[in-house]
Amino acid sequence: MFFKDQTNMTRSEGDSGLYPKSDFNPPTTLMPVEILAFEQAVLTDINKIDPASLKCFHNSSKAEKQAVETLGSDSNIIIKPADKGGAIVIQNIEDYKQECSRLLADKRNYKLLERDPTPELKITIASMVEQATNNQWITKKEGAFLITKHPRIPYF
């Protein structure tokens, strides 16, 4: 409803479409009374629900649940998400440890760091993005998209 009268909702030429995640919410003063009434009715209904009365239904049988519990408690295997595809991998723990050691021993791909380089990298990237923005190589919105406020450190 808030954007219903806007005609140009397409990207302009040269617009990459890279923007930081929006936290925009239309101001309630501009929202139609029907939308606000609907919102209030839904919130009222939600507040009437007694959490104790909700029943939990499982989509797996008792045998399937027991199998998952048995696998989860087996110290001879490791269960991990696959790198790609959303699959789950179950592997013998000794084979897993051996493969991890083999990968980490490959000095072409891994090296032991004395400290976490994230703070310095964050400063370097911010400087490069600022330079690109100042030189108009990228827009301010694209620059904001490229900056991660709270980078996560990868782990192996």
* Domain spans, the chain: 62-111, 113-156
DSSP class of 77: E
DSSP class of 93: H
pLDDT at 98 over 90: yes
* Alpha carbons 71 and 66: distance in angstroms, whole number: 9
pLDDT at 2 over 80: no
Task: Tokens for 51, please give them.
Answer: 């959490």
Give the list of residues 6+ apart from residue 101 with CB closer than 8 angstroms, or none.
none
Residue predicted with more confidence, 8 or 32: 32
pLDDT at 59 over 70: yes
